[in-house]
């Protein structure tokens, strides 16, 4: 099981961090593929959640999850291992 690093920018200067982060995300994705590991695509998960609401709801400083962010990540992890909540 691998979980991508993620960034949910809450300050404009954090967008520049993508230059460093995106290659690291690529490495994690490649490792998951090479080793047939389950991947939790956390970067996209948090980005989509931030668009629906606001970034601070998920990561108070752009990097460290809030309780809601931890819940979002936990649900994705449970889904990835096949024990998520059943669909209605």
CA 66 to chain centroid, in Å, comes to 13
Q: Nearest CA to 59 among 35, 39, 71, 80?
A: 71
Q: Which residue has the higher pLDDT, 61 or 84?
A: 61
Q: How confident is the model at residue 86 (pLDDT cuts 50, 70, 90)?
A: low
pLDDT one-digit tens code per residue, 31-75 = 999 999 999 999 999 999 999 999 999 999 999 999 999 999 999
| Predicted TM-score of the model (pTM) | 0.88
Assign 88 a pLDDT band (cuts: 50, 70, 90).
Answer: low
First-residue to last-residue Cα distance in the chain = 27
Q: How far is CA 78 from the centre of its chain?
A: 14
Tokens of 63: 């990097």
Give the helix/strand (H/E) hosting 3.
Answer: strand 2-3
């Amino acid at each position: 099981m691998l979980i991508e690093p993620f960034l949910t920018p809450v300050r404009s200067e954090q967008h520049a961090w993508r230059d460093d982060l995106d290659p690291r995300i690529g490495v994690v994705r490649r490792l998951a593929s090479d080793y047939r590991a389950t991947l939790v695509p956390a970067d996209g998960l948090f980005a989509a959640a931030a668009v629906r609401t606001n970034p601070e709801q998920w990561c108070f400083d752009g990097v460290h999850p809030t309780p809601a962010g931890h819940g979002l990540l936990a649900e994705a992890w449970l889904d990835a291992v096949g024990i998520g909540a059943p669909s209605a």
